[in-house]
Structure 1
Amino acid sequence: MYKRIDRNANRLKRRYRIRKIVSGTAERPRLAVFRSLNNISVQLIDDIKGHTLLSASTIDKELKSEVKNGSNVEAAKLVGKKIAERALAKGMKVVVFDRGGYLYTGRVKALADAAREAGLEF
């Protein structure tokens, strides 16, 4: 009998496996990526206090006018560049990258590369 693969369940397994290892602090926050069908968002998180320090998304007012389609590589590059600008303005240069269980290709890779080019280190 054919069994349907639950891709989201597999992603969540990868996510929890990664989260056992990756943790953010105030000095070195966790750069967490969330990718939906229509948008992409990223947060800088201090896991010790449980606070979100910064965020950027294709839904933000600043980026919404620049982005035609929030679910493509160009939108991911803009979000990566924007989070890096905001982090550098707050004095955060080094982060820990958390891909959220998503494979490191396409939009996730474009976001990470754009953040690195804009000055974040991970």
Structure 2
Amino acid sequence: MGKREKKKIKGNNLKPRLAIYRSNKHIYAQVIDDSCSKTILSCSTLEIEVKEKCEKTSNKVASKIVGEIIATRLLQENIKEIIFDRGKRSYHGRIKELAEGARLVGLHF
């Protein structure tokens, strides 16, 4: 049995891709337009706005706050739909909380 290959997820200017990266201490989210290979927006637990709202950056609460912030920034840019790219991680824990935080604000995916 061979290695499993990752499905290629691509976004465009109408539905950009929300790419998530999770480390042991932080979580990073960036919105990418793959048609012109540009990052539209980004947010992470390294930002002061997130650090003021939570005491730890490596838990579900911080992930949900990052999801809410990235969703409000996207809605200000008039982007209401995205393609969710969780990377190699399963839809569980901090990845799930980030997605639920974005959906709570009104983002569709």
When normalised by structure 1's length, the TM-score is 0.83
Aligned residue type for 1:17: K
Which residue of 2 is the match for residue 17 of structure 1? Answer: 6
RMSD value, Cα: 1.3
User: Where in structure 1 are there 5+ consecutive unaligned residues?
Assistant: 1-12
Q: Which residue of 1 aligns with 2:104?
A: 117
SS where residue 41 of structure 1 aligns? strand
Q: Distance in 2 between matches of 1:38 and 1:86?
A: 23
Establish whether residue 86 from structure 1 lines up as the match of residue 73 from structure 2.
yes
Q: Residues 5-64 of structure 1, C-alpha deviation per residue, up to 9 Å, x if partnerless?
A: xxxxxxxx76x613x2x1011111000001000000100000111100001111012112
TM-score normalised by structure 2 residue count: 0.93
CA deviation profile, 1:77-105 (whole Å, cap 9, x unmatched): 00000000000000000000000110110
- Contact 1:24-1:46 within 8 A present in 2 as well: yes
**Which runs of 5 or more residues in structure 2 are unaligned?**
none
The residue number in structure 2 matching 1:47 is 34
Residue type matched to 2:37 in 1?
Answer: G
The answer on whether the counterparts of 1:38 and 1:71 sit within 8 Å (CA) in structure 2 is yes
Superposed counterparts of 1:38-77, under 5 Å:
38-77=25-64
Rounded Cα–Cα distance in structure 2 between residues aligned with 1:109 and 1:41: 13
| Structure of greater Rg | 1
- Structure 1 residues 28-47: aligned runs within 5 Å: 28-47=15-34
Instruction: Give the letter for the 1:110 counterpart.
Output: E
Sequence identity percentage: 45
**Alpha-carbon distance between aligned partners in 1 of 2:30 and 2:54, rounded to the nearest angstrom:** 19
SS at match of 2:15: coil
